[in-house]
Amino acid sequence: MFTSSSHVSIPRSPDVVTILWSRNPLRPRSFRTIVDATVIGSASPCNRFLRSGQHYVDARDCLLANGFRLVSQQRVGSVYGVAVFVRQR
């Protein structure tokens, strides 16, 4: 027989942010710029940095400073890349 305890709770889903970025192929040292970002859950307080055209490094720094971990980063060719950040609450 199953008995429930009042101290048991369902864990919250993690917050997940995926960023697709690009770099100017004619300038190898150019800033990475956000092409698109997807948020599952919440990216607060970093939402303002996750817009198309914003610098990737600003978004990355905000996410890392607010409890996110960079769990995956992959270059896609010489121009694009994808980064995935996760925050467990």
Q: 36-66, pLDDT tens digit by residue?
A: 999 999 999 999 999 999 999 999 999 999 9
The number of distinct structural domains making up the chain is 1
Residue 42 maps to a domain:
yes
| pLDDT at residue number 32 | 96
> HSE of 3 in the Cβ direction (CA atoms, 13 Å)?
1
| Residue 68 covered by a domain | yes
Token pair of 6 as six digits: 């009042």
Distance (Å, rounded) from C-alpha 41 to C-alpha 37? 13
Is residue 82 situated within a structural domain? yes
Q: Are strands 33-40 and 15-22 parallel, antiparallel or unpaired?
A: antiparallel
Looking up residue 62, the CATH number of its domain turns out to be: 3.30.1410
**φ, ψ (nearest 5 deg) of residue 87:** -130, 120
Is 1 contained in some domain? no
The whole model's pTM is what?
0.86
Contact between 51 and 76 under an 8 Å Cβ cutoff? The reply is: no
| Confidence band, pLDDT 50/70/90 cuts, at residue 3 | low
Residue 37: the pLDDT is 98
pLDDT one-digit tens code per residue, 10-25:
888 999 999 999 999 8
Q: Is residue 4 part of a domain?
A: no
What domain range includes position 72?
15-87
Any domain includes 9: no
Is residue 6 assigned to a domain?
no
Amino acid at position 22, single letter: S
